[in-house]
Structure 1
Amino acid sequence: MNRFSLTLAGAALLLVAPRLTAKQPSLPDLPVPAPTAVDRLNDVVNPGPLDEKAVRGIVDAALKERDAKQKQADDAKKRAAAEKGHEVGSELNLRAYWDNGLWFATPDNDWKFHFGGRFQFQSVFFAQPFGLRGPPPGNGGVPQQGAGGGVGPLDDGMFFRRVRLRSDGVAYETFEYVLEVNFEQLNFVVFDHMWVGSRDDYWGALRVGQHKIPQGLEMMGSDYHLTFIERSPLSDSLYNLFGPGVFYMNNFQEQNVAFQAMFHRVQPVQFGTDDFGNGNYAGTFRLTGTPIYEGDGAGVLHLGGSYQYRSGDLGRSILPGGTGSTFGDTQNVTRFRARPNLRDGTGIGATNFLGSNTNRFVDTGFLLTDGVSTLGPEFLAIAGPFSVQAEAGFSYVSNARSLYGGNGLAPGQNVGTPMFWGGYVEASYILTGEHRGYDRRNGMYDRIKVRENAFLVKGEDGRHHWGTGAWQVGYRYSYLDLNANGITGGELAQHEAAVNWYLNDNTKMQFVYLNADRIVPAPNNGGRVHGFSMFAQYYF
């Protein structure tokens, strides 16, 4: 017998030592229990010497018996937990992780928080006809201000388009919130999202606070993921971006249908999180569907539309300075206007604080109205790296009257129910093979997931190694018509070409060329502006 066998035999003898003591007194006959691992070991030891194979078998049997008991205990614990049900918030240990931003979450995601933000830095360069510079619009921004009227100078420059900090998350599994603070305005701090609400897979989500108004694909989608630097003039003039109110949304047909509704105030500035004035309310509704959704969003056909009725923007809530008319500041007043698709400033607040041009290219001026109804069909198709996106909007202004006159009208002149409209179509292709993202819960486009991050390093082998990132090219044509029923607010037709470089999931650079044609009747000056912009974004 070798040394290993002697060692195992000694261990076995120690285990059965109690059984090798003096003979015990006789006992009444009792039921014979099933042999245990020790009994089997004793049976092996008594007949003769042990070998390695026998001992291994005995040890394996003992381990299996132990594992079986542990499994019974674990199963009993699981059954007890299942009968009790999940207690929300019972596990409060937070783990930190990175998912395009800094997240903290409990093991069951009952509590989940994100802390992040964004900055967007932009450089712009313009070539502007001298005749189009003219004196900037006066008297409320109406374009037609006499012979030689233009839009003011478009200055080359650099500025932070957006600088924002954000927190969002989930509490108690069913409550959610978003808080986003906007710092890019030089003269005051304002807010984007600032709401809290509850959510349920069956009943949907109900939110209260400052929220995106569910109107249009561009407006619902984040500016993080715009193919072009700015939203189209349709969104700038006819739609509303933010407003305080009550928001409801739900999904049906396995998230192939999304419905959103909001009862809210109408903010002329759209970032203040407050709005005051009698009768200034709106209702907005949006319904979208995806008859085609394949390959985790690599193939999508999105169809949808929105409808909004609003009473009008009360004049005294228009910043800065209201309408400039004591009478107008107490009335339902609306206004439609748009900038070009490249800007040399953020365009919110007084121009003398921003140090840049905030004038619009087309503008109806202030109109007294009983209410405005707006329809907005939308379309998006994603076929791998290729996508087409299009929207249109039609705003009907009920019982419209000119507040100041101008634009071919006398002060107070009634023009019935004019209809202003606009739209755009854009196409893009991702040269590196990725596809645009799609958010089924909200019925909107989402980010591009980069396959290979951009990098350039010198390796240990002495050679240079590099990654491409994702490269995208795009074209957009947009049009806006603010002429109707004798109102000559002007037309704006724009062509844009873009080259976008996504260095990774959080960083991108955009290069956009703009050709914008301002079409207005005499004696005002129209003309064509050429612009170029470089745009850098980081968000997390």
Structure 2
Amino acid sequence: MSFLVALSACLTGAAANAEETFELFGPQPSDNRIALLSDDIDDGPLAGPIDTEIDTAAGNANSTVSREDYDALVERFESLEESWSKHQDDLKADSEAKKKKPIGKLNGRVHLDNWSFLEEDPGVNYLETGDPNQDPQDRWDFRRIRLTWSGDVPGSMLYRISIDFNNPSSAEMKDVYLGFKDLPYNQQFLIGNQKRPIGLDHLNSSRHNVFIERPLAVETFNEDARRLGACMYGYNDSESVHWRYGAFLLENISQDGRFRGDYDEAGLYGRLSTSPWYDEISGGRGYYHFAVAGSANTTDADGTIDNDDNSNEARFRTRPLARSSSRWWDTGRLLGAETYQQLAFESMLNIGAFQLTGEYINTWVQRNPLGGFNGEDLHFQGAYLFANYFLTGEHVPLKRRTGTIDRVKPFENFFIVDRCCGGTGTGWGALSVGVRADYLDLSDSDIMGGEGHAITLSSNWYWTAYSKLQTNLVVGEIEDAGQGRSNVPLAQGVAGDFTILGFRYMIDF
């Protein structure tokens, strides 16, 4: 044993001044000494023949050590062995304990917006401020200051807590849920505040969307997207088909975290998506995605004429593709509306750097006469179509397991640095340009919620995969609007044109 030989050599020097020492050329060891050349040492860590011959300047010699030093050596060796074994046991216990504890990670995003209202008509002024002579104000807004903590819990569970601080005095709850993963058929089940599965552009993360604000139809018919509910998510083994279905309460609880009302003031939602073509050889630069989604909802029909403290109404509204103070398209609270249903279709075609995406959403409302309204059933609808192209050759990836788009990764990041040999080195990131056409009709029968369209020109300058600058120029018109400012039927709606320029500076981590 080389380890013992080394320790014996150390003891040889240590015993030089002791009463009993190694005898290199003297007589045979006395009875109180143990020959380290013994072929039969007591059982233990030092058992067995041990070759301890040591080459010295004087020649070869057999060396011996006193029993006292030998016992000390054995004791130290056994202590070392015991200490090492205990250390290994502690490491194993710590590893097992960590497997029994939840784990998590922190993510976040910052979106800073600048909006300029370049041109408006008196009708648009009225929809924004209530005064035909007062223009909408230009603004800088923190659209999102969001922190998200998410992770896993032993037992195939997961959780997510996402809070937005864009208004520091009133934090807003986003995703807050818990659930089970690794269920049969590649499924997971979530319960808590989460997105209702309708509207592709809402299911996409705001980190990845091509335009600053979501389309008119998507934001109108799934306002703020998230509600308290339970939902199942799954996909097939080839990831070519994905589904979501669940039940959600109707009221938005993002600011107070509380639902008040009857439990039947809720909706059933579902979405089935497929990507029958996905070019894996090119890394997903070519694909086709299609989905159908729908919902059936019951509402609080008597609205403002009762004493209920809730917002479980049928109401559809949206801003003009910018962060205005008011919703310009707005049906108001639909008195007498007891139920409504939705049916939506979505499609994405991506060929290399080019993408073509569109959605069409229908909403049917059933109501009774109430508060001066005639009680006729209503039909609202909206759609959009956009094309986007990367001038630098990148593409918008598809996340097949969820039927949504994924993060764009530039071929090179944006940078400007000094070269060691003089001059500067640069990288320009990725650049895409796009155009989107929006249409929304919220005017039917005696409800004048607004009908109109808009064209949005966009550019996305990706500095890195986690940061970019978005620019949108919005030109649109609206007519038959104003219902949201009245609790009674309108004799005539308002109309106007608008032009808006917006920028978003964004980063996520």
Partners of 2:184 and 2:156 lie apart in 1 by 12
Q: Does 1:399 align with 2:376?
A: no
Give 1:130 deviation, angstroms.
Answer: 4.5
Distance across 2 between alignment mates of 1:211 and 1:89? 35
Q: In structure 1, what is the equivalent of residue 244 of structure 2?
A: 260
Per-residue CA deviations over 1:411-449 (Å, capped at 9, x if unaligned) read: 14211x211000100110011111102111111111111
Q: Deviations over 1:191-212 (max 9, x none)?
A: 1001111111634101111111
What TM-score does the superposition give when structure 1 sets the normalisation length?
Answer: 0.69
Normalised to the residue count of structure 2, the TM-score between the two structures is 0.73
Q: CA RMSD in A?
A: 2.8
Structure with higher Rg: it is 2
Deviation, structure 1 residue 129 = 3.1
CA shift at 1:115, angstroms? 0.8
Partner residue of 1:196?
178
Match of 2:147 in 1: 165
Q: Does 1:430 align with 2:390?
A: yes
Corresponding position of 2:290: 303
| CA shift digits 1:41-65 (9 cap, x unpaired) | xxxxxxxxxxxxxxxxxxxxxxxxx
Residue identity in the other structure for 1:312? T
CA distance in 1, matches of 2:365, 2:405: 30
- 1:29-428 aligned at under 5 Å gives the runs 90=95, 113-135=104-126, 153-172=135-154, 174-200=156-182, 202-203=184-185, 204-240=187-223, 241-268=225-252, 272-278=256-262, 279-295=264-280, 296-312=283-299, 324-326=304-306, 333-344=313-324, 357=325, 359-367=326-334, 368-401=336-369, 403=371, 411-415=372-376, 417-428=377-388
1:231 deviates by: 0.5
CA apart distance, 1:341: 0.2
Q: For 1:384 and 1:166, locate their aligned partners in 2 and report how far apart those are by CA, in whole Å.
A: 32
Q: C-alpha distance in 2, partners of 1:198/1:364?
A: 38
Offset, 1:524: 3.9
Give, in angstroms, the shift of residue 238 of structure 1: 1.1
Describe the SS at the equivalent of 1:387: strand
Q: Deviations over 1:390-426 (max 9, x none)?
A: 00110010125454xxxxxxx14211x2110001001
Compare 418-427 and 235-244 and name the one that shifted more.
Answer: 235-244
Inter-partner Cα distance in structure 2 for 1:272 and 1:289: 36
Q: Note if contact 2:374-2:446 (Cα within 8 Å) is conserved in structure 1.
A: no
Q: Does the CA-based 8 Å contact 1:118-1:539 persist in structure 2?
A: yes
Give 1:174 shift.
1.8
- CA 1:134/1:400 → structure 2, altered by over 3 Å: closer, same or farther? farther
How many percent of aligned residue pairs carry the same amino acid? Answer: 25
Would the alpha carbon gap of residues 91 and 467 (structure 1) be closer, same or farther in structure 2, given more than 3 Å must change? farther
Q: Measure the CA separation in 1 of the matches of 2:119 and 2:168.
A: 26
Q: Secondary structure at the match of 1:237?
A: helix
The SS at the match of 2:323 is: coil
Displacement after TM superposition at 1:486 (Å): 3.5
Instruction: Specify the alignment match of 2:89 in structure 1.
Output: none
Report the Cα distance in structure 2 between the residues aligned to 1:273 and 1:472, rounded to whole angstroms. 39
Match of residue 82 from structure 1: none
Say how many residue pairs are matched. 403
Per the TM alignment, residue 313 of structure 1 is displaced from its structure 2 partner at its CA by 5.3
Q: Check the 8 A contact 1:243/1:271 in 2, yes or no.
A: no
Match of 1:68 in 2: none
Cα deviation 1:348-372 (Å, max 9, x = unaligned): xxxxxxxxx2x12122222121211
* Distance in 1 (alpha carbons) for counterparts of 2:404 and 2:337: 32
User: Contact 2:219/2:318 (CA < 8 Å) preserved in 1?
Assistant: yes
How many Å apart are 1:381 and its aligned residue? 1.1
Measured at CA, do residues 341 and 500 of structure 1 come closer, stay the same or move farther in structure 2, by a change above 3 Å?
Answer: same
Higher strand share: 2
Gaps of 5+ in 2: 1-91, 482-490
Change (3 A) 1:523 1:398: closer
